[in-house]
Amino acid sequence: MYKRIGDYGIIGDLRTVALIGNDGSIDWLCLPCMDSPSIFAALLDEEKGGRFSVSPADPWDSTAAYIPGTNILTTTFRTRTGEMKLTDFMPLSEETGIALEEGRPEIYRLIEITHGELRAQVTFTPRPDYARAVAVVEHTGGAIVAGGAGMEVVLCGTRMDIEVRDDRAKAVWDLLTLTFSMCLTVG
């Protein structure tokens, strides 16, 4: 089922933006610029468009809000056994206030278990060029590399025990109180 537009938050780096649902899913992202072809387009086609999702594996409810005075989005998920906070942002240069390293946008996703324990699931299904290209997803060293349509993106993090199958990567983790992060960048 498609989300309402009000169910999305937006983060950006002054070159491109990502739409993030209150379910922890990046459903729209064009890289490296806003007028580039998409890498995630579930906003347009929920089944074929691709996404990068982080959420609890068990039933949950959520709230999303920006940290005051910033473009940093936090989504708090509550389950029967615990609470998880997902923080999403695209960094800017402290000196200039513009995007870091021209041509290399980055999205950071910080996952914090703030209370109790829960099972978290991560799904990474890139679909380059508005899902017109086939994505090749590989686990190489300590990262997931996805390419297609002349584009390559790299997913890395402090926890990379993620299973790669065909054109997607997926993990389900049993988590206690801990913090870890993931970064998506143009390769």
| 3: Cβ contacts below 8 Å, ≥ 6 apart | 21, 22, 23, 27
Cis peptide before 126 (omega within 30 of 0): no
**pLDDT tens profile 30-65:** 998 899 999 999 999 999 999 999 999 999 999 999
Q: What is the pLDDT of residue 166?
A: 86
Q: What is the pLDDT of residue 20?
A: 98
**pLDDT tens profile 9-22:** 999 998 899 999 99
**pLDDT tens profile 151-165:** 899 999 888 889 999
Which residues face 65 on adjacent strands?
74
Where are the chain's structural domains? 5-186
Q: What would the DSSP string read from start to end of 40-109?
A: E-TTT-TTTS-EEEEEESS--EEEEEEPTTSS-EEEEEE-SSEEEEEEEE--B-TTTSSBSTTT--EEEE
Q: What is the pLDDT of residue 159?
A: 82
Q: What is the pLDDT of residue 127?
A: 96
**pLDDT tens profile 166-181:** 899 999 988 775 666 7
Judge contact between 44 and 55, C-beta under 8 A. no
Secondary-structure class of domain 5-186 per CATH: mainly beta
Handedness of CA 97, 103, 104, 106 (dihedral sign): positive
SS3 content of the chain, % helix, strand, coil (to 5): 5, 55, 40
Range with the poorest average pLDDT among 38-42, 99-103, 109-113, 177-181 = 99-103
Which residues face 107 on adjacent strands?
184
Q: What is the pLDDT of residue 141?
A: 79
- What percent of the chain has a predicted confidence (pLDDT) above 70? 91
Tell me phi and psi for residue 7, to 5 degrees. Answer: -85, 5
Which among 150, 89, 82, 90 has a CA at the least distance from the CA of 118? 82
Q: What is the pLDDT of residue 101?
A: 56
Q: Kindly report the pTM of this predicted structure.
A: 0.91
Instruction: Classify the phi-psi angles of 175: left when phi > 0, otherwise alpha if psi is within -120 to 50, otherwise beta.
Output: beta
3-state secondary structure of 154: strand
- What percent of the chain has a predicted confidence (pLDDT) above 90? 72
